[in-house]
């Protein structure tokens, strides 16, 4: 049986340590300000992105890599004798999956496997990490994909947003909603459902109140939560907010399985500074 290479894109929002641990090949998405295009996590950092938003007074455009980018990556590993499994941002949220599928059809190889996570950020990262674990256990690509496809609808991605500024600039909330959000201290609870982002709740108060709402969702899911990894991912928050989140989740699960990871430039460009989420897979 061939060795297996897991290919992901830059929206899976894992830490540098996790990318290295699982030896993922990362395909970056694009971030564009004006006429200048950067590669997420390669030629632009999240701090630079936030600085450029202030500089240009507008949000960047984000885009998926073209099929030729995926073709080059796939061929590289096929030529080395690997089977390739690609997981990244869901097909309803970006054209990255479509690009990967076009590349697969161009190559016409039976050794390329695609899994539509129908999700984003480290929810997709959780599925990629599970794929790597299954590969290490000796599962075939077909077996891995079958298991992951069962997990896809049970993968929970939820985020609380500190400010509505980025959602407003990106056309995802009205100016009135933005003003009311600030006045009423609303921190929208965003949930990924059926491959789409929805406003699940609109808690009022501090970010800690919003975080408590996310933790309630974890409590509801227990004990039917896979206990390999639970992610707390943020686009840049105060240490006290992240520490509070980790402390409260640690009361419910083994602290050793909690992974804190940074959101990349693409996710940060849509949600802005201060967003933090809790992500896990249910049985």
Looking at per-residue pLDDT, the higher value among 200 and 19 belongs to 19
Helix, strand, or coil here: 84?
strand
Q: What is the pLDDT of residues 155-189, one digit of tens each?
A: 999 999 876 555 544 443 333 333 333 433 567 88
Q: What is the pLDDT of residues 61-117, one digit of tens each?
A: 999 999 999 999 999 999 999 999 999 999 999 999 999 999 999 999 999 999 999
104, 121, 151 — which closes off a domain? Answer: 151
Cβ neighbourhood burial of 90 (10 Å; 0-12, 13-18, 19+): buried
Looking at residue 163, its pLDDT comes to: 64
Whether the model clears a pTM of 0.85, i.e. scores above it, the answer is: yes
pLDDT tops 70 at residue 208: yes
Domain count, the chain: 2
- 198 and 139 in a single domain? The answer is no
Contacts of 216 (CB under 8 A, 6+ apart): none
Q: What confidence category does residue 203 fall into, taking pLDDT thresholds of 50, 70 and 90?
A: confident
- 12 and 147 in a single domain? The answer is yes
- 168 and 139 in a single domain? The answer is no
Query: CA nearest 100: which of 151, 62, 146, 65?
Result: 65
Q: Give the gyration radius of the chain's Cα atoms.
A: 19
Alpha-carbon gap, residue 115 to 130, rounded angstroms: 12
- 142 and 272 in a single domain? The answer is no
- 183 and 231 in a single domain? The answer is yes
In which domain, by residue range, is 77 found? 3-151
Q: How many CB atoms lie within 10 A of CB 102?
A: 16
131, 151, 171 — which closes off a domain? Answer: 151
Q: What are phi and psi of 78, to 5 degrees?
A: -60, -40
101, 130, 151 — which closes off a domain? Answer: 151
**What CATH number does the domain containing 245 carry?**
3.30.1180.10
- 9 and 121 in a single domain? The answer is yes
Q: How many CB atoms lie within 10 A of CB 197?
A: 18
Alpha-carbon gap, residue 186 to 201, rounded angstroms: 10
Looking at residue 215, its pLDDT comes to: 97
Alpha-carbon gap, residue 33 to 48, rounded angstroms: 11
- 164 and 97 in a single domain? The answer is no
Going from the C-alpha of 91 to that of each of 94, 116, 124, 194, 242, the distances in angstroms are 6, 6, 12, 11, 30
- 7 and 146 in a single domain? The answer is yes
- 169 and 200 in a single domain? The answer is yes
- 14 and 137 in a single domain? The answer is yes
Q: What is the pLDDT of residues 45-73, one digit of tens each?
A: 999 999 998 898 888 999 999 999 999 99
First to last CA, the chain: 29
- 60 and 76 in a single domain? The answer is yes
């Amino acid at each position: 049986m061939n060795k297996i290479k897991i290919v992901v894109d830059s929206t899976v929002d894992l830490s540098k340590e996790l990318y290295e641990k699982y030896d993922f090949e990362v395909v970056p998405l694009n971030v564009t300000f004006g006429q200048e295009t950067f590669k997420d996590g390669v030629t632009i950092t999240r701090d630079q992105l936030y600085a450029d938003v202030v500089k240009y007074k507008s949000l960047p455009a984000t885009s998926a890599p073209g099929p030729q980018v995926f073709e080059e990556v796939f061929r590289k590993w096929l030529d080395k004798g690997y089977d390739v499994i690609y997981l990244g941002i869901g097909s309803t949220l970006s054209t990255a999956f479509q690009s990967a599928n076009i590349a697969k059809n161009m190559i016409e190889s039976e050794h390329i496997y695609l899994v539509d996570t129908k999700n984003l950020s480290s929810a997709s990262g959780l599925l990629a990490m599970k794929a790597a674990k299954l590969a290490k256990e000796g599962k075939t690509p077909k077996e891995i994909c079958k298991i992951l496809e069962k997990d896809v609808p049970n993968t929970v991605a939820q985020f609380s947003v500190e400010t509505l500024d980025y959602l407003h600039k990106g056309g995802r909330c009205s100016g009135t909603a933005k003003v009311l959000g600030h006045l009423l201290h609303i921190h929208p609870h965003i949930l990924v459902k059926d491959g789409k982002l929805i406003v699940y709740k609109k808690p009022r108060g501090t970010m800690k109140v919003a975080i408590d709402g996310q933790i309630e969702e974890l409590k509801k899911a227990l004990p039917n939560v896979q206990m390999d990894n639970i992610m707390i991912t943020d686009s840049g928050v105060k240490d006290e907010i992240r520490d509070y989140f980790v402390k409260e989740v640690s009361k419910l699960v083994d602290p050793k399985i909690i992974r804190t990871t940074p959101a990349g430039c693409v996710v940060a460009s849509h949600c802005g500074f201060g967003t933090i989420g809790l992500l896990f897979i249910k049985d």
